[in-house]
Structure 1
Amino acid sequence: MIYNIEFETLPREALEAIQLRRLQATIERVYATVPFYRKKFQEAGVTPSDIKTLNDLQRLPFTYKQDLRDNYPFGMFAVPMDNVVRIHASSGTTGKPTVVGYTARDISTWSELMARALAAAGASRGDIIHNAYGYGLFTGGLGVHYGAERLGASVIPISGGNTKRQILIMKDFGPTILTCTPSYALHLAEVAGEVGVDFKDLRFKAGIFGAEPWSEEMRQEIERKLHLSAVDIYGLSEVLGPGVAVECAEAKKGLHIAEDHFIAEVIHPETGETLPYGEKGELVFTSITKEAFPVIRYRTRDISSLNPEPCICGRSHVRMNRVTGRTDDMLIIRGVNVFPSQIESVLMEIEGVEPHYQLVVDREDNLDLLTVMVEVGEDAFSDEVRVLQVLEKKISKNIKEYLGVSAKVKLVEPKSIARSEGKAQRVIDNRKI
């Protein structure tokens, strides 16, 4: 279902005209109201009047996460605080969090885009949405919540944690749409099995999963274990929150970016050069409707590519391909770039392996050593040692052939890798780099 058929199916020429008009207005506003942007533009020798075409966006400097931290907490806001009705912040593990603000109109825009996302997955007014994204300063929970209310669906604000209770609520309340991280979805399936509940006996028809990179193989695993249609959603607090882009249930081939609200670019991570459609690089977003916290050419560190081809669902907006990792969680093992999602793709193709793993990186005698810790199923773990050794060698061989990097594989017993109710911690890097 298309929630806003007028804007989601705009012809390219009309869409780009809207983008240019909104971009010019945004540039004028941040130049006038945000000292950080005014200084950056002046240093780059650019004024708002220089932005005459969409291509002129490339003349503007990038914005980095560190810029947001340097202006902590409210230095990047473009409106007075008495116009800010909501404040969220990222859960940064080091240093200061990045703080974002919303006006009442921003909240309305966000609600609209999340309603679009839910509808793209197949949700409508008659659905009950089990929202297991975290509430609080994290944008996930409240983003989905407001979108569900805008759509007219019922929402269960369960948040993360207390998993056995969540299974009970699923049985009793009969929700039809599940929203959470993909790793938590698999954890839900695992706990449901422990308490004797089969997802095929529940009412779920679709799930919207995001906040961490996940592979096509993990999608198949989730769909098989949870008996629902799984779609990917993309967003980040600095740009809006969830709802920046979402897959449609019809195609599941890339995430439709809400281009009437954001301009997306893909750049070379090292040179900053803008790359053409289809080439993989770092995603950069410019918001063109946000009032409280607009961002100009914000470098997300997420690796993807853009696809302008028409989609069978009828939406005309450019699609971004699934995020395969981040430039800052990319591991370089003996000169080879490795993303956790690539390892995951290898693991998910091997029978007897569970979708729970961790990558441990050490350095000995100036050499990088990658250990892949992966759980095996109950049946496989009960096999004799020789069988497990054969499985370890097979995984190691497949990783070497697929990624070109040597890895030691360590099979561990079921449920021994720590579960996460939010983003899964996939990498433990013990190197002093």
Structure 2
Amino acid sequence: MDFAVEYLKLDQLRALQSERLKDLVVYLEEKSDFYKEKFDEAGISNQDIRTIEDISKLPITYKQDLRDNYPFGLFTVPKNELQRIHCSSGITGKPTVVGYTEEDVDLFSEVVARSLNAAGAKPGMQLHNAYGYGIFTGGLGLHYGAEKLGMSVLPISGGMTSRQVDLIIDFQPEVLCCSPSYALTIADEFAKRGISADEISLKYAVLGSEPWTEIIRHHIEERLGVHATNIYGLSEIIGPGVSMEDFEEKGGSYIWEDHFYPEILDPVTKEPLPYGEEGVLVITTLTKKAMPLLRYWTNDITSLYYDENAKRTMVKMKPILGRADDMLIVRGVNVYPSQIEEAFSHVKGVVPNYYLTPIEKEQMCIGLDIDLEIDDELVAEENLNINSDEYLIFAGNFGESIENEIKKRVGITTKVKIHAQDSLPKCEGGKINRILKTK
């Protein structure tokens, strides 16, 4: 593969984006009843779009638009020109449906291959792909991208953790793909078998589908002996491969902005925010054919920046702080699960497996219950025991010290319940929800 586009000068990249945006608007005027109506309502046409800076004139697209046009109302090609269809689970209503032409599948494979290359993968390596296959875009997306890069793929999907570890031991893959929480579950299985990180063949872990923190990265890297990097994407945009961390840089993910133009908008006013400011990530698909989207409201909170010292010239996004709809308002304080995790992540003995339960009174969130685990070494070191409620009791007010740390760092009241290692539910593949029902 040719990765030269990742190193374009900024003026060359803007020229490419401008041409692709102009072509996209013309295409949507001709092919999309949905966007033609939106353009008419806004009083704009393709003549109003001359450069990429004109993108703010275009309408924002929301997930509800996909649901309102279920199943194929946003497609711009007939069904017989599709090569693949994916959709969401539809647990909270009508699923969102996305389609791919042959060109789109090639594009999907290209950006995933770029992402795997940035993560350290090389042709000839083997990928242990523990992302779910089926209607979820992750499994097939990583599979095709790895093959395009020249890798071999074990399409094991999620679950059956003991068997996953058996095959890693037997097949000796260099690269693992799954969610961060499932990587920890795999690491736990290796630990149970007494297998140390230096005995594991894995060198790189490409992890995504849920927000995660530096403490999670540290645990995964230390326990599996890998470089752990974040891959980001949404099914509505294309799937995983919209952006990717470099395994030597980490901390921020390159967005492949020759195909996906990013903006950060204010969550309330919907106005564009400058580089460096946090807001909602909005993405325009510049080159998709079956279901291109203008200014898609991802609901993910992050910021964008250019790094002069980075390997590539494309824009980076900071780690996702959370989803706008995952934000909890506790006594007027805006809180994301990742902020809670960061507050206790440095505490010795805490295992990064936890759950938050909002406490409500008179339709107001007044606090959080936090259930988290501590490792067996600390239990033995402090001679801890478990009472009838199955919470650990020990001197030193360990839970209270974490409550105080969260109060200091985040500014909210919490009640921390400490559990023994492996006593809380674990991820068995796919995403994990850290927020439980309110009390």
Q: Which amino acid in the other structure matches residue 426 of structure 2?
A: R
Provide Cα deviations, 1:194-225, integer angstroms capped at 9, x if missing partner: 23333320111111111000011211111111
Is 1:39 paired with 2:37? yes
> 1:401 — aligned with what?
408
Displacement after TM superposition at 1:122 (Å): 0.8
Partner SS for 2:397: helix
Distance between the aligned counterparts of 1:347 and 1:271, measured in 2? Answer: 33
Q: CA deviation at 1:25?
A: 0.9
Partners of 2:358 and 2:379 in 1: how far apart? 24
Measure the CA separation in 1 of the matches of 2:90 and 2:78.
25
Distance in 2, matches of 1:289 and 1:229, equals: 31
Aligned: 1:208 with 2:216: no
| 1:333 matched residue in structure 2 | 330
Q: Distance in 2 between matches of 1:177 and 1:134?
A: 16
Deviation, structure 1 residue 158: 0.8
Letter in 1 for 2:164: Q
> Contact 1:254/1:320 (CA < 8 Å) preserved in 2?
yes
Aligned twin of 1:21: 19
| Secondary structure in structure 1 of the residue aligned to 2:394 | helix
**What amino acid maps onto 1:332 in structure 2?**
I
Shift of 1:311: 4.0
Maintained 8 Å contact 1:331/1:337: yes
Q: Partners in 2 of 1:173 and 1:197 — Cα distance?
A: 16
Identity of aligned residues (%): 46
Report deviation, 1:365.
4.9
TM-score when scaled to structure 1? Answer: 0.96
1:313-371 Cα deviation digits (max 9, x unpaired): 2x111011111101011111111111111111122211111110000012135552310
2:422 is the alignment partner of 1:425? no
* Equivalent residue pairs, number: 428
- In the alignment, what sits opposite 1:186? 184
CA distance in 2, matches of 1:329, 1:191: 30
- Following superposition, the deviation at residue 20 of structure 1 comes to 0.7
Note the C-alpha offset of 1:192.
1.8
Long gaps (5+) in structure 1: none
Of the three residues 280, 302, 319, the one matched with 1:322 is: 319
Instruction: State how far apart, in whole Å, the 1-side matches of 2:78 and 2:65 are.
Output: 20
Runs of 4+ with >4 A deviation: none
Equivalent position of 2:418 in the other structure: 411
How far the C-alpha of 1:387 sits from its partner, in A, is 2.9
Contact 1:374–1:411, Cα closer than 8 Å, also in 2: yes
Instruction: Give the whole-Å Cα distance in 1 for the aligned partners of 2:419 and 2:406.
Output: 18
Cα contact 2:138–2:240 (8 A) shared by 1? yes
Matched, 1:76 2:61: no
Q: 1:352 to 1:32 in 2, by over 3 A?
A: same
Aligned AA (2:270): G
Q: Which amino acid aligns with 2:377?
A: D
Contact 2:307 2:315 in 1 (8 A): yes
Deviations 1:34-73 (A, max 9, x none): 1111111111111111101212110111000000000001
State the match for 1:143 in structure 2.
Answer: 141
Q: CA deviation at 1:386?
A: 5.4
Corresponding residue of 1:55 = 53
Larger deviation: 166-175 or 89-98? 89-98
SS of residue matched to 2:34: helix
User: For residues 308 and 109 of structure 2, what CA distance do their matches in structure 1 show?
Assistant: 26
Q: Which amino acid aligns with 1:290?
A: K
Whole-Å Cα distance in 2 between the matches of residues 210 and 180 of structure 1? 7
**1:363 maps to which residue?**
360
Displacement, 1:89?
A: 0.7
> 2-side partners of 1:266 and 1:360: how far apart?
30
SS of alignment partner, residue 328 of structure 1: helix
How far apart are residue 310 of structure 1 and its match?
A: 2.5
TM score, norm. by length of structure 2: 0.95
1:388–1:411 contact (8 Å) kept in structure 2? no
Q: Secondary structure at 2:134's aligned position in 1?
A: coil
Q: Distance in 1 between matches of 2:126 and 2:297?
A: 35
Task: Specify which of 290, 293, 303 is matched with residue 292 of structure 1.
Answer: 290
The answer as to whether partners of 2:197 and 2:222 remain within 8 angstroms in 1 is: no
Q: Could you report, residue by residue, the CA deviation over 1:222-277 in whole angstroms, capped at 9, with x for unpaired residues?
A: 11111111111110000010000001112113111111101100000110010000
Larger mean CA deviation between 270-279 and 343-352 belongs to 343-352
Q: Does 1:160 align with 2:158?
A: yes
Distance 1:57 1:405, change over 3 A: same
**Residue 179 of structure 2 contacts residue 431 of structure 2 at CA under 8 Å; is this kept in 1?**
yes
CA contact (8 A) 1:164 1:191 kept: yes
Which whole-Å CA distance do the structure 1 matches of 2:222 and 2:4 have between them? Answer: 35
- Please tell me the root mean square deviation across aligned C-alpha atoms, in Å: 1.4
Q: Which amino acid aligns with 1:54?
A: I
Q: Which amino acid aligns with 2:313?
A: S
- Cα deviation for residue 412 of structure 1 reads 1.6
**Contact 1:251/1:311 (8 A) holds in 2:** no
Unpaired segments ≥5 residues, structure 2: 385-391
State the distance in 2 between where 1:357 and 1:253 align. 23
**Matching of residues 119-130 of structure 1 within 5 Å:** 119-130=117-128
Q: Say which SS state the counterpart of residue 23 (structure 2) adopts.
A: helix
Distance 1:94 1:389, change over 3 A: farther
